[in-house]
């Protein structure tokens, strides 16, 4: 089975720029950012609510829990929010003015199904010509980028919510550049 494409930083920027010209730019940018910068599965993104991401004062949390019923492993997981994602969440919240309900709202105002949100990702990626990218591309990028930056496999496994290290290793895309940079470290 062919894995979803892992985008480069420049390609992620192209997708985000493309999102700006769509009918739902804030929603689409948030979905892409949650996928890439938090490593969330499409079903986890679809289930997110604002009260998970912001505190009582409306400030973006530095970390939040995914509820067990929304994760593939059926176990709660702590998600850390990096600076880029926090800025995107804050900007979106300010523009939309929401403090409750789904983060990624369907046109009817409720939650997306995971399948419908996966179709949104497919349309966004196709819009910039990435026919080999999918809703899993962001998750693969997140895991690959952490590995490339030297984060331990065990840490990546826990951030991804995997139970087996072998699962995490399948997500990592090893490039010729990564191999070339590894050997001089000896």
Homologous superfamily in CATH for domain 9-185: Intergrase catalytic core (1.10.443.10)
**Residues 136-162: tens digit of each pLDDT:** 999 999 999 999 999 999 999 999 988
Residue 97 has pLDDT above 80, yes or no: no
Q: What is the pLDDT of residue 174?
A: 87
The angle formed by the CA atoms of residues 16, 21 and 27, to the nearest 5 degrees, is 60
**Residues 46-68: tens digit of each pLDDT:** 999 999 998 888 889 999 999 87
| Distance between CA atoms of residues 159 and 143, nearest Å | 9
CB contact at 8 A, 53 and 64: yes
Of all residues in the chain, the percent with pLDDT exceeding 70 is: 98
Helical (H) or strand (E) element with 21 = none
Q: What is the pLDDT of residue 73?
A: 81
Q: Give the mean model confidence (pLDDT) for residues 98-120.
A: 90
Q: Strand 63-66 vs strand 77-80: parallel, antiparallel, or unpaired?
A: antiparallel
Q: What is the pLDDT of residue 16?
A: 98
pLDDT interval class at 1 (50, 70, 90):
low
pLDDT interval class at 43 (50, 70, 90):
very high
* Mean pLDDT for all residues in the chain: 91
| Distance between CA atoms of residues 124 and 131, nearest Å | 10
- Using DSSP's 3-state secondary structure scheme, residue 47 falls into helix
Of all residues in the chain, the percent with pLDDT exceeding 90 is: 65
Q: What is the pLDDT of residue 68?
A: 78
φ/ψ of 177, rounded to 5, equals -65, -40
The CA-based diameter of the chain, rounded to the nearest angstrom, is 56
Asked whether the whole model's pTM tops 0.85, one would answer yes
What ranges do the domains of the chain cover?
A: 9-185
């Amino acid at each position: 089975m062919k894995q979803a494409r892992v985008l480069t930083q420049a390609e992620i920027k192209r997708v985000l720029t493309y999102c700006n010209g769509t009918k739902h730019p804030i929603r689409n940018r948030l979905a892409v950012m949650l996928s890439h910068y938090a490593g969330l599965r499409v079903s986890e993104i679809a289930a997110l609510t604002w009260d998970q991401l912001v505190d009582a004062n409306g400030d973006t949390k530095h970390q939040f829990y995914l509820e067990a019923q929304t994760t593939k492993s059926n176990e709660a997981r702590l998600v850390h929010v990096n600076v880029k994602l926090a800025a995107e969440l804050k900007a979106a919240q300010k523009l939309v003015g929401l403090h409750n309900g789904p983060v990624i709202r369907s046109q009817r105002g409720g939650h997306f199904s995971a399948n419908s949100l996966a179709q949104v990702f497919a349309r966004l990626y196709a819009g910039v010509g990435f026919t080999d990218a999918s809703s899993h591309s962001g998750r693969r990028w997140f895991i690959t980028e952490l590995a490339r930056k030297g984060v331990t496999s065990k840490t990546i496994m826990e951030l991804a919510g995997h139970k087996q290290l072998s699962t995490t290793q399948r997500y990592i895309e090893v490039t010729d550049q990564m191999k070339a940079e590894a050997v001089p470290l000896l």
